[in-house]
Structure 1
Amino acid sequence: MLIFPAPPFPYVLHSGFAALEVGERHLSRRNLDCFDLIVVFRGRLYMGEESSVWTVEAGEYLILRPDLYHYGADVCEERTEFGWVHFRAAGEWHDEMPKRLPAEERALLALPQKGTVRTLQHTIETLTEIDELQHRGEKLRRTLRRQHAFQEMLMLFEPAGLEDQSPLQAQRVAANAANWIEEHYSLPLTAAAIGKALNFHPAYVARCMKTTYGLTPLDYVKQVRLRNAQRLLMATDESIDGISERVGYGSNTYFARLFVRQYGMTPSEFRRSYR
């Protein structure tokens, strides 16, 4: 997954169309200094990036990173036609979900590195528009139109789970996430694991929970764990180490530090205050 906090949005540099005949393979490049988006219209393209290898079928796309070596992994077995766009991230980008979500006025554009285009014909038309605008019309106007068309095309590659949803839908997702966390808080949990369990992208789940509860999923996990630790400290004689492990913390030291930060006293002090 490639993550682009936006704005600023990625911007297009160059674009074009190409075809490879039987027995030909894609060029090899190192330090291209930009992302390379490839959309296959016909045939099958074999691409590699460092140790990763993909087969890109007609109707699929692949985004190659600017910082890794990419190459044609094998020769084409049939005539293969594709469009390409070289683009750059105007700001930061990530290959995994950032630990901190962007501010409210920004969003996360999350693109699978390889995927299926929603409407191939529309994608071809958009690529054609982007390519033709390189050489047509007044420079500022065509640059803005190319950028707009490119951003619209990127949105077609975004997983459905990240599309805008109604407030009611967001509340339902947040409630489902909260219920799932309540049932599984003792397990090793990550934002990715929570998103996978709910069949939504982790960034979307995080936004729903932040909007509904004012907490990210992992903040909510911490609250649930500490609340259950309080209950066990008051109701049982179980050791602090045992309680720490039961609520999902492998490290007693880390558990104690979180507890003090939340309640202003150590777990032992809390237990004594209720005895």
Structure 2
Amino acid sequence: MSKTNFLSFLVPPLPYFIEGNITTYQKGDWHPNRYNLGYFDVIIVKEGLLHIGEEDEAWKVTENYALILEPDKHHFPIEACTEQTSFYWFHFQTNSTWCAQSSPDLIVPSTPIPELHFHSEHTTIHLPKIQKVVNPHELFSKLDYLLSSTLKPRKLALWEAQQTFVNIFQSLEHDQNNKDSSSKLAEQIEIYLKQNYKNAITNKDLEAHFHVHQNYLARCMKTAFHRTPLEYLMDYRLDQGRSLLLQTDWSVQQITEETGFSQASYFSKCFKQKFGMSPKNYRQQYWKPTH
């Protein structure tokens, strides 16, 4: 069984907050022994030390550390507290796909997001299973605000609690500084391709721009996005073409030129390979004639 270092969530939709509080244990107190809670349990120690296990893993969660326990596993105390220990805890859940991983790999969605009016990409958010909080005082302030918001009238509490939770969730996300150089390079390539997709781009162009051999560029992109740079570029161009088919009345030739393809016939061929129908037929399935 591989060790869980990250919990990865496919968004949208975003996970949502359920409940939370701050708890203080005295010396000799034990954390509860629980099975199959049905939601994620986040524990952030403010002072002291918790000895917690989950299945075949165990942690000493010390001051300013955050641990996430999974909804379908057995959580149990390893030993009683040896000192006064205060910790924030909150529960959350998601209706989307998530998984436990040894490394922060992308989750590939099983179905695309409908995009009749705009294009919204799936993103994988990675939370370390256990981490030292970078700015604990700032996070504690957010947690205090989250807990206070739950005491307000129900409708106001709903909006404030969920908005604050998203902010906290973002604070716990796998930090950019923890990414290795290949991941950072892959993201730079992604940005470059999105900014320049209307232009002709070759592997040699990428090599010259990033001053790195094209084979290494391809390896970085394959690791991060499961596609080479040119495969990513092709998919992005086709996604932009699909959006234009839905949002405009431009001809296929106009869309071809706008998305960086050299010939309408090649655009149509690639479009059909990806989406299973021609650009014309794809547009017609969302088009209703006026009388």
TM-score of Structure 1 vs Structure 2, range by shorter chain: 0.5 to 0.7
8 Å contact from structure 1 (residues 116, 157) kept in 2: no
Q: Identify the range of structure 1 (128-137 vs 2-11) with the bigger mean alpha-carbon deviation.
A: 128-137
1:224-261: per-residue Cα shift (whole Å, max 9, x none)?
xxxxxxxxxxxxxxxxxxxxxxxxxxxxxxxxxxxxxx
Measured at CA, do residues 172 and 108 of structure 1 come closer, stay the same or move farther in structure 2, by a change above 3 Å?
Answer: closer
Correspondence for 1:214 among 217, 222, 231: 231
1:75 is matched with 80
Correspondence for 2:189 among 165, 168, 171: 171
2:135 is matched with 119
Find the aligned partners of 2:29 and 2:56 in 1 and give their Cα distance: 21
1:2-49: per-residue Cα shift (whole Å, max 9, x none)?
111111111111100101111212111111111100000001111100
2:253 is matched with none
Find the aligned partners of 1:27 and 1:67 in 2 and give their Cα distance: 16
Question: Which letter does structure 2 place at the counterpart of 1:160?
Answer: D
1:129 is matched with 145
Find the aligned partners of 1:91 and 1:22 in 2 and give their Cα distance: 39
1:64-98: per-residue Cα shift (whole Å, max 9, x none)?
00100001111111111000001111222111335
Measured at CA, do residues 169 and 4 of structure 1 come closer, stay the same or move farther in structure 2, by a change above 3 Å?
Answer: closer
Measured at CA, do residues 215 and 47 of structure 1 come closer, stay the same or move farther in structure 2, by a change above 3 Å?
Answer: same
Measured at CA, do residues 56 and 169 of structure 1 come closer, stay the same or move farther in structure 2, by a change above 3 Å?
Answer: same
Find the aligned partners of 1:178 and 1:55 in 2 and give their Cα distance: 44
1:156 is matched with 171
Find the aligned partners of 1:23 and 1:6 in 2 and give their Cα distance: 41
Aligned pair count?
A: 196
SS at match of 1:18: strand
2:10 is matched with 5
Alignment of 1:31-46 (within 5 A): 31-46=36-51
TM-score normalised by length of structure 1: 0.62
Question: Which letter does structure 2 place at the counterpart of 1:23?
Answer: G
Find the aligned partners of 1:169 and 1:75 in 2 and give their Cα distance: 45
Measured at CA, do residues 130 and 61 of structure 1 come closer, stay the same or move farther in structure 2, by a change above 3 Å?
Answer: same
1:110 is matched with 126
Find the aligned partners of 1:31 and 1:18 in 2 and give their Cα distance: 21
Over aligned residues, Cα RMSD in angstroms? 3.5
Mapped pair 1:142 → 2:157: yes
Measured at CA, do residues 177 and 4 of structure 1 come closer, stay the same or move farther in structure 2, by a change above 3 Å?
Answer: farther
Measured at CA, do residues 32 and 166 of structure 1 come closer, stay the same or move farther in structure 2, by a change above 3 Å?
Answer: closer
1:65 is matched with 70
Q: What fraction of aligned residue pairs are identical, expressed as a percent?
A: 23
SS at match of 1:95: strand
How far residue 159 of structure 1 moved from its aligned partner, in angstroms, is 1.8
8 Å contact from structure 1 (residues 44, 76) kept in 2: yes
Question: Which letter does structure 2 place at the counterpart of 1:143?
Answer: L
Gaps of 5+ in 1: 186-193, 196-201, 217-275
Question: Which letter does structure 2 place at the counterpart of 1:140?
Answer: K
Find the aligned partners of 1:11 and 1:118 in 2 and give their Cα distance: 23
SS at match of 1:214: helix
